[in-house]
Structure 1
Amino acid sequence: MSKAAPQAPLTPAVFHILLALVGQERHGYDIMQQVKSDSEGAVEMGPGTLYGSLDRMIDAGLVAKGNTRDPRRIYYKLTTLGLATLRAETERLSRLAVVARRQLGTA
Structure 2
Amino acid sequence: MPRTGLQEPSFLVLTALAAGPLHGYAILKDVETTSCGSVRLGVGTLYGALERLAERGLVEVASEEVVDSRLRRSYRLTEDGAGVLAAEASRRQQQSAAALARLGRRGALGWTS
Report if TM-score (shorter chain) is over 0.5. Answer: yes
Please provide the CA RMSD for this pair. 1.2
Structure with the greater alpha carbon radius of gyration: 2
Structure 2 residues without counterparts, runs of 5 or longer = none
TM-score for the superposition, normalised by structure 2: 0.84
Superposed, 1:1-107 pairs within 5 Å as 5-68=1-64, 70-71=65-66, 72-105=71-104, 106=109
Structure 1 runs, 4 residues or longer, greater than 4 Å off: none
How many residues get paired?
Answer: 102
- C-alpha displacement of 1:23: 2.7
Identity of aligned residues (%): 36
Higher relative contact order (CA 8 A, sep 6+): 1
Structure 1's unaligned 5+ residue stretches are: none
Distance in 2 (CA, whole Å) between partners of 1:23 and 1:39 is: 15
Q: When the two structures are superposed, what TM-score results if normalisation uses the length of structure 1?
A: 0.88
**Structure with a larger share of its residues in strand:** 2
